[in-house]
Amino acid sequence: MRALASLAAVVAVGLAACSPTAPKGVDKAKLDAAVSDAIGDPASCLLIAEQASGKVVYRYNTATVCARELPSCLAAGQGPAAWPVKDLLAATVKDGQPRRLSCNATADASRGVSWTSGVLPGKGLAYAAVMEGTRTFPGRMMADRIEPRLKDLGLQ
**pLDDT tens over the chain, length 156 residues:** 444 444 343 334 344 446 788 898 899 999 999 999 999 989 999 999 999 999 999 999 999 999 999 999 999 899 999 999 999 999 999 999 999 999 999 999 999 999 999 999 888 999 999 999 999 999 999 999 999 999 999 997
Residue 136: how many other CB atoms lie within 10 Å: 23
Go through the domains of the chain in sequence order and give each one's CATH number: 20-152 (3.30.450)
Q: Report the distance separating Cα 14 and Cα 75, nearest Å.
A: 40
Number of H helices, E strands in the chain: 5, 7
Nearest to 106 by CA among 71, 138, 80: 71
Alpha-carbon distance of 111 to 109, in angstroms, equals 5
Helix spans in 40-84 (H)? 63-67
pTM given for the model:
0.86
> Hey, what's the torsion of the CAs at 79, 85, 86, 90, to 10 degrees?
50
Residue of 39, 17, 14 whose CA lies nearest to 143: 39
